[in-house]
């Protein structure tokens, strides 16, 4: 019989409305289990690890990512898969971070949560939780069907580092427009076999815990001035995620270009991702991105913002040399980018 470890970090799934203040507050895991008697009927053993401090995911941070990675490592051998209950607000950041922190992952790590608490009559939590467990234990020829860090929400399974929260009020909270969904649940659970990654045979799980979380973010807008750009590029950070227009374009104003050049000369890594949610950065396609390419801005291709930030944290923790950080930023490590 399969064994699944459920790790409960918090989120709406495990919240209840305070009878007096009406504010949503976290409850403990036993109260969650009481709401889903169907769990007993699943043909698998379920173990539970509940974090001491149950949080709204807006309070998530890299120290907790490290605890999560450590928990998966220490329970890896004894479990066939992992389901992580997590608030949807920052779920895509945690899933992206974990995808980089868990190298050669051979077992499913499925994040889920819900838009309504599990105790609510119209809750989406039960389906999300039950199917996430089904996916975590799914095997074919004794091999996990989806040995990836994923997000399961509203009948769809996404690669974690390709998804982002797109809707705060619909049950369909996540999308991943730049990569196909990995599975869809309806009458049957249908896996998109050709889109799922598997580790190389014989490679063991490696955990990377050293994330450098000080990453700058430069989101461009028409009219952005020297003061703002300088403040971000001169900040005490080694990496900056730059959110640009369209296919990776920025203003060609001389002051802007020379600030970027100086930052790169000073050893900072700047990665270019687009403000568009669909499509990819094509450095050099327009005049407005040619100089970026020539000065050594890294091409973030079709990476999500969540992936770019957490990948930068991971690479800064791994390499001192900016050239290596740039090189790996542009390399597909966990299926997070399509290098064109
Ligand atoms: N604020 C909640 C959280 O992210 C929202 C949710 O769970 O969906 O923890």
Written out in words, the top-level CATH class of the domain with range 2-207 is alpha beta
Give the domain ranges of the chain: 2-207, 215-329
Instruction: Check for a shared fold between 2-207 and 215-329.
Output: yes
Q: Quick one: fold of 215-329? A: Rossmann fold (3.40.50)
Q: Per-residue confidence of the chain (340 residues) as pLDDT tens digits? A: 899 999 999 998 988 888 888 888 777 777 778 888 888 888 899 999 999 888 999 999 999 999 999 999 999 999 999 999 999 999 999 999 999 999 999 999 999 999 999 888 999 999 999 999 999 999 999 999 999 999 999 999 999 999 999 999 999 999 999 999 999 999 999 999 999 999 998 899 999 999 999 999 999 999 999 999 999 999 999 999 999 999 999 999 999 999 999 999 999 999 999 999 999 999 988 888 889 999 999 999 999 999 999 999 999 999 999 999 999 999 999 999 999 8
Using a 6 Å cutoff on CB, does residue 26 contact ligand 1?
no
Question: Per residue, what are the HEC states of the chain?
Answer: CEEEEEEEEECHHHEEECCCCCCEEECCHHHHHHCCHHHHHCCEEEEEEEEEEEECHHHCCHHHHHHHHHHHHHHCCCCCEEEEECCCCCHHHHHHHHHHHEECCCCCEEEECCCCCCCCCCCCHHHHHHHHHHHHHCEECCEECCCCEEEEECCEEEEHHHCEECCCCCCCCEECCCCCCCEEECCCEEECHHHCCCCCCCCCCEECCCCCCCEEEEECCCCCCHHHHHHHHCCCCCEEEEEEECCCECCCCHHHHHHHHHHHHCCCEEEEEECCCCCCCCCCCCHHHHHHHHHCCEECCCCCHHHHHHHHHHHHHHCCCHHHHHHHHCCCCCCCCCCC
Using a 6 Å cutoff on CB, does residue 89 contact ligand 1?
yes
CA of 239 to the centre of ligand 1 (A): 28
Residues with catalytic roles: 12
CA of 149 to the centre of ligand 1 (A): 19
CA of 3 to the centre of ligand 1 (A): 27
Q: Ligand 1, from 10, 11, 27, 124: best to mutate by most atoms within 8 Å of Cβ?
A: 11
Using a 6 Å cutoff on CB, does residue 131 contact ligand 1?
no
Using a 6 Å cutoff on CB, does residue 117 contact ligand 1?
no
């Amino acid at each position: 019989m399969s064994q699944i470890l459920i790790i409960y970090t918090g989120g709406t799934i495990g919240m209840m409305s305070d009878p007096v203040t009406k504010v949503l507050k976290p409850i403990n895991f036993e109260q969650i289990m009481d709401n889903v008697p169907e769990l007993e009927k699943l043909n698998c053993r379920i173990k539970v690890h509940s974090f001491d401090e149950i949080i709204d995911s807006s309070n998530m941070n890299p120290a907790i990512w490290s605890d999560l990675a450590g928990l998966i490592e220490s329970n890896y051998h004894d479990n066939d898969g992992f389901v992580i209950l997590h608030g949807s607000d920052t779920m895509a950041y945690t899933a992206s971070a974990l995808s980089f922190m868990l190298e050669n992952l051979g077992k499913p790590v499925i994040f889920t949560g819900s838009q309504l608490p599990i105790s609510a009559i119209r809750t989406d939590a039960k389906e999300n939780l039950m199917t996430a467990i089904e996916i975590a234990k799914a095997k074919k020829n004794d091999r996990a069907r989806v040995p990836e860090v994923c997000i399961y929400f509203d009948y769809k399974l996404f690669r974690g580092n390709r998804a982002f929260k797109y809707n705060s009020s619909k049950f369909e909270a996540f999308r991943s427009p730049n990569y196909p969904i990995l599975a869809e649940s309806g009458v049957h659970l249908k896996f998109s076999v050709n889109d799922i990654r598997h580790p190389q045979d014989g490679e063991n799980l490696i955990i990377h815990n050293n994330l450098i979380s000080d990453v700058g973010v430069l989101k461009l807008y028409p009219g952005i001035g020297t003061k703002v750009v300088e403040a971000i590029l001169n900040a005490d950070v080694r990496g900056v995620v730059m959110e640009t227009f369209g296919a990776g374009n920025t203003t060609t104003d001389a002051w802007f270009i020379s600030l970027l050049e100086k930052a790169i000369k000073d050893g900072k890594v700047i990665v270019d991702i687009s403000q568009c949610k669909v499509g990819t950065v094509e450095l050099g396609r327009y005049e407005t991105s040619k100089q970026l390419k020539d000065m050594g801005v890294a091409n973030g291709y079709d990476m999500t913002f969540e992936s770019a930030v957490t990948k930068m944290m991971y690479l800064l923790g791994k390499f001192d040399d900016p050239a290596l950080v740039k090189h790996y930023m542009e390399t597909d490590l966990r299926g997070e980018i399509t290098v064109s």
